[in-house]
A and B are shown apart, each in its own frame.
Chain A
């Protein structure tokens, strides 16, 4: 019985981590748009390449934040949560 409970905990943690990383789609699209626009801007005004590049990198890093929240949750679910839940289960069984 205990083994089945542990298996369910591990499986659900893995499923949750995988589902959380769906949030990676958003930053991907957003950063792609940002880089595309930056390329257009550089094509129009090649002399402003330095400014455009630094601004683009900055914007990309900020757009990445939502993806990183999901990543942090996924890492917590894989490496931290199972041990915690198993401890709780053990203390509940006694």
Chain B
């Protein structure tokens, strides 16, 4: 028994280090590569190195590295929460895991219907990735969600899903749906179809990016203001930006925590709504019945 519990404890430590180490690695990489700069500095993600590829060189950026760190950390969290769930003794972490699964399954069932109940893991993955990526800004790292390429990739996956489920109702119906009221409107329908992933990507990335831009502007402005007001103080005291204490933290609560989590929720919600509304359930069931006859 003692040996077994020691083994359990060791694996636990392994999982916890899997959750924490990626962030430490990301912070260390950032410290090693970034020179600290003064004043306003709003740039995109830094490019760490470039891989030579046949068609186009593949740049490995900060946002890619950070998002893979998030993937590893979320994987570690899942393993940690479900570790020893079959031992017959339920602890707090198992209840947390059950709570998460139950909440997401209820959400998926309520918004998409019984047919799509297999979507719960995908929705949980989207929620967790998006939320943890946005919260990464709290550690001073570059949030991957403020890069349009990362969010655009997720939106493309959602677009493929939507198109797949529209196709499932019948390819003929899918093509017909473009000329819905009158065939003259087909170009507009195609544009609105393509606009779905673009608007999803821009909504998420624009919200996170605007928050970080406003935070940087306010912080720099307060620095300038305090150096103007406290100029008369002698020596080092005059260089300390006193006014920077407080207000940027409140802004960070709104922009980094509330806005980031809200955008994660909205991205998952829109995924569910678009996929469920794109699937013509009645036509699909009619075809199924025909096939059975």
Chain A residues with CB below 8 A from B213, complex form: 75
Query: Which residue of the partner chain, among A57, A65, A75, contacts B203 with CB atoms under 8 Å?
Result: A65
Q: Are A72 and B206 in contact (CB under 8 A)?
A: yes
A64 part of interface (Cβ distance < 8 Å): yes
Does A58 belong to the interface (CB within 8 Å)? Answer: yes
User: Could you say which of A57, A65, A71 contacts B210, with CB atoms under 8 Å apart?
Assistant: A71
Partner of A61, one of B43, B202, B266: B266
Q: Is the CB of B269 within 8 A of A58?
A: yes
Please state if B262 and A79 are interface contacts (CB–CB under 8 Å): no
Q: Which residues of B contact A58 (CB under 8 A)?
A: 266, 269
The number of chain B residues with a CB under 8 A from chain A is: 17
Task: Say what secondary structure dominates the interface of chain A.
Answer: helix
Q: Chain B at the A interface: mostly helix, strand, loop or mixed?
A: helix
Cα distance, A79 to B43, chains bound together (Å): 8
* Contacting residues, chain A, for B266 (C-beta < 8 A): 57-58, 61-62
- Residue-by-residue, is A44-55 near B (CB-CB < 8 Å gives 1, otherwise 0)? 000000000000
A contact residues around B173 at 8 Å (CB):
none
Are the C-beta atoms of B203 and A64 separated by less than 8 Å? Answer: yes
Fill in one digit per residue for B275-290: 1 if any A CB lies within 8 Å of its CB, else 0: 0000000000000000
CA distance A7 to B270 in the complex (A): 43
Closest 7 CB pairs of A and B: A68-B206, A61-B266, A65-B203, A72-B206, A71-B210, A71-B206, A65-B199
* A65–B202 touching, CB < 8 Å: yes
0/1 string, B12-47, CB within 8 A of A gives 1? 000000000000000000000000000000110000
